[in-house]
């Protein structure tokens, strides 16, 4: 092979490698039932969180990202031509894409379709709402996986107390924006930032009675249509009740003129049947 051609191939190789999807760092969530919805004794529950003590929901085993998808990972999807560009830091100071030093922060300002694009690129999908809550609870039955309350020691939020470089602003534990993923300890399953930092898109359309009329009947994928998608986990600019494991936020799947600076996502993955391993990415 001619030297000039070798040099050309060497120059193109890093570009080809950068266009490949990252290999996700996944956590296995085992199959089985859990109590979904309003935790026993939780005075903050809304009616759409089901009856006190929750409802029994059976969830098959699945994998889920250990961390929220980062700016760096989403930028790689844009470079590969598989993801559209969301609103960025030039558009709004709270958007992480294009913000200096935020490559390891969760990607935010993404709408539901953009989150789906990325998850498809890495061979996954957005988690179903019941999957998300089972992973977030990680075997616990209290409002938060660490107990009945949450502070900036456990999650990135607006706790109304903590201040930092943003002066008297409490959002983001005093920083007025997200933090790098994994800045707080993981839950018992080894998952980071399930509560706070960025809220997370789920696959489901919102239905007020979904827990009792669908999920408890093992219909995890419904409803089939709607106006808003479910967002879970709370975020850096929300107060403690919105970070509860059972809290259900809702947003239209298209952001329109809204920024969605509080919303990011992580991906879930179906398990291959025995004897039929999933292809490597």
Over residues 101-118, the pLDDT tens digits come to 999 999 999 999 999 999
Q: Is residue 18 part of a domain?
A: no
Q: Is residue 4 part of a domain?
A: no
Higher pLDDT, 20 or 143: 143
Q: Is residue 33 part of a domain?
A: yes
Q: Is residue 120 part of a domain?
A: yes
CATH assignment of the domain containing 182: 3.90.1580.10
Residue 19: per-residue pLDDT: 67
pLDDT digits (tens, 9 = 90+) for 58-84: 999 999 999 999 999 999 999 999 999
Residue 24: per-residue pLDDT: 81
pTM: 0.91
- Assess whether pLDDT exceeds 90 at residue 1: no
Average of per-residue pLDDT values in the chain: 92
Q: For residue 6, name the pLDDT band (cuts at 50, 70, 90).
A: very low
> Structural domain of residue 235, as residue ranges?
27-269
Buried b (16+ CB within 10 A) or exposed e, 248-261: bbebebebeeebbb
Q: Say what percent of the chain tops pLDDT 70.
A: 90
Question: In Å, what is the CA distance from 103 to each residue of 46, 75, 275?
Answer: 36, 9, 38
Q: Is residue 279 part of a domain?
A: no
Q: Is residue 19 part of a domain?
A: no
Number of domains in the chain: 1
Q: Is residue 15 part of a domain?
A: no
- Assess whether pLDDT exceeds 90 at residue 23: no
pLDDT digits (tens, 9 = 90+) for 132-173: 999 999 999 999 999 999 999 999 999 999 999 999 999 999
Q: Is residue 159 part of a domain?
A: yes
């Amino acid at each position: 092979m001619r030297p000039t051609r070798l040099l050309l191939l060497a120059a193109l190789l890093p570009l080809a490698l950068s266009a490949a999807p990252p290999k996700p760092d996944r956590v296995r969530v085992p199959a089985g039932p859990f109590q979904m919805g309003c935790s026993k004794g939780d005075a903050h529950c809304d009616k759409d969180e089901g009856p006190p003590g929750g409802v029994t929901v059976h969830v098959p085993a699945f994998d889920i990202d250990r961390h929220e998808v980062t700016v760096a990972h989403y930028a790689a999807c844009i470079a590969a031509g598989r993801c559209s560009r969301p609103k960025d830091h030039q558009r709004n100071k709270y958007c992480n894409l294009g913000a200096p030093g935020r490559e390891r922060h969760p990607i935010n300002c993404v709408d539901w379709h953009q989150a789906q694009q990325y998850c498809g690129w890495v061979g996954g999908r957005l988690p179903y709402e019941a999957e998300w809550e089972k992973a977030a609870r990680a075997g616990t039955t209290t409002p938060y996986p660490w107990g009945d309350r949450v502070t900036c020691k456990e999650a990135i939020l607006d706790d109304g107390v903590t201040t930092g470089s943003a002066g008297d602003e409490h959002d983001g534990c005093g920083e007025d924006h997200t933090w790098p993923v994994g800045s707080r300890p993981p839950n018992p399953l080894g998952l980071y930032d399930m509560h706070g930092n960025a809220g997370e898109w789920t696959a489901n359309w919102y239905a007020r009675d979904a827990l009792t009329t669908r999920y408890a009947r093992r219909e995890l994928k419904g409803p089939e249509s709607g106006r808003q998608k479910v967002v879970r986990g709370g975020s850096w600019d929300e107060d403690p009740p919105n970070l509860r494991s059972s809290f259900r936020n809702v947003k239209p799947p298209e952001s329109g003129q809204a920024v969605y600076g509080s919303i990011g996502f992580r991906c879930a993955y179906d398990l291959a049947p025995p004897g039929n391993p999933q292809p490597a990415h």
